[in-house]
A = this chain, B = another copy of it.
Amino acid sequence: MTTEQNPVIRAFDAYVAAVAAQDVEAFVALYDDDVAVFDCWGQWKYSGLDAWRAMVTDWFRGLGRDTEEVVFADVHTTVGADLAFGHAFVTFTAISPAGERQRSLSNRLTVNLERRSVSWKIVHEHTSLPIDMKTGQAIFG
């Protein structure tokens, strides 16, 4: 399988492009209507695309005039006949209009995809940081 045919790599590439363009609809087009997301921040679960779209809309709005660069690293993918999954480390870096690299944050990310008639969709995503058991604080990479 070439990189171009791998649905997980295609999803990661489209994720990077949608965030760079701050294009909410291009971003949510990667996900299934019934997606369940265990996101790194703030709440236990997002159920369904409307809840996920609201999160993404807030995220992009919060960037203000900055753009956000997304880089996937240590990418592992497994592609089957009708399902696929992958995991990676993802680094988000805000970049000012003047081109200055500002705050940067890495996550651990897992995606689960199902083949649909036209394309593959992310049906489940899980992002997180590990936690220090003694302090309950996130461990930033």
A123 near B: Cβ within 8 Å? yes
Complex partner residue of A136 from B44, B114, B137, CB under 8 angstroms: B137
Closest residue of B by beta carbon distance from A89 = B44
| Contact A82-B80, Cβ < 8 Å, known A128-B128, A138-B138 | yes
Whether A137 pairs with B137 at a CB distance below 8 angstroms is yes
Chain A interface SS verdict (over half): strand
Mark A84-98 against chain B: 1 for CB-CB distance below 8 A, else 0: 110101000000000
> How many copies of this chain are found per oligomer?
2
A81 near B: Cβ within 8 Å? yes
A36 near B: Cβ within 8 Å? yes
CB pairs A–B below 8 angstroms (29 shown): A36-B87, A38-B87, A38-B108, A38-B110, A38-B130, A39-B130, A40-B131, A41-B130, A41-B131, A41-B132, A42-B139, A44-B108, A44-B141, A78-B83, A78-B114, A80-B80, A81-B82, A83-B84, A87-B126, A110-B110, A110-B124, A110-B126, A126-B128, A128-B131, A129-B131, A131-B138, A136-B137, A137-B138, A138-B138
